[in-house]
Amino acid sequence: MTTNFFEIIYELMSEGIDIKMSLRKETDNKLAVSLLPVHEKLDDNAKGRIIPFTTVATFQEFNEEFFTAIQKAIPVASGILSNMDAFLKSAKQAEKDSKMQAQLREKEKKEKEERKKKYDAQMLKVAELEKNEKWGEAIGAMPNPKDFPEQADDIKKKIAEMREKHGQLSLL
């Protein structure tokens, strides 16, 4: 006897999805058949909530209607498992990307803080030189606006002010 039972089952299976089949002999020439799509590598407890597709019928009913019934049920359960797997993979990738972004933000924050400390230290030196009216040295000690883009406008204004004061001294 030739059947295409395994060919039809194979066509119903998705990549990574196994089908567990259980057969149980019932009374009155009936058979109970259960099919359960499983995804062994899926790391989600929700996969355990999918119940097997189970039907009890006579041999003749199985021969006539079994594949029609499972062709509707198996792809639905397989699709759910595949979607759970895809969701978990994308969630893990998003978490990984999020950690990378957080690390990048932290690195940028530290670099900005270091630039601010360096800027403040240079400006303290400039303030001391200004206090002693050493305008030329104060101008030379000013931070480069290219090195401190956040304070570039303030630096340029301060240099202009000191040049003006330095110029007033040289006129006397």
Tell me: do 81 and 19 sit in the same domain. Answer: yes
Tell me: do 9 and 81 sit in the same domain. Answer: yes
Q: Is residue 96 part of a domain?
A: no
Q: How many separate domains does the chain show?
A: 2
Tell me: do 10 and 86 sit in the same domain. Answer: yes
Task: Output the 3-class SS for the chain.
Answer: CCCCHHHHHHHHCCCCCEEEEEEEECCCCEEEEEEEEECCCCCCHHHHHCCCEEEEEEHHHHHHHHHHHHHHHHHHHHHHHHHHHHHHHHHHHHHHHHHHHHHHHHHHHHHHHHHHHHHHHHHHHHHHHHHCCCHHHHHHHCCCCCCCHHHHHHHHHHHHHHHHHHHHHHHC
Q: Is residue 105 part of a domain?
A: no
Q: What is the pLDDT of residue 117?
A: 92
Out of 36, 55, 90, pick the residue that ends a domain.
90
Is the pTM higher than 0.85? The answer reads no
Tell me: do 20 and 84 sit in the same domain. Answer: yes
Q: What is the pLDDT of residue 121?
A: 92
Q: Is residue 79 part of a domain?
A: yes
Q: Which domain holds residue 143?
A: 112-171
- Give how far Cα 1 sits from Cα of 4, 5, 102, 132, Å: 10, 12, 64, 109
Tell me: do 12 and 78 sit in the same domain. Answer: yes
Q: What is the pLDDT of residue 1?
A: 61
Give me the tens of pLDDT residue by residue for the chain, a chain 172 residues long: 667 888 888 887 777 778 888 899 998 889 888 887 777 766 666 666 677 878 888 888 888 887 777 777 777 766 766 676 766 777 777 777 787 888 888 999 999 899 889 999 999 998 998 888 888 888 889 999 888 888 889 889 988 888 888 776 554 4
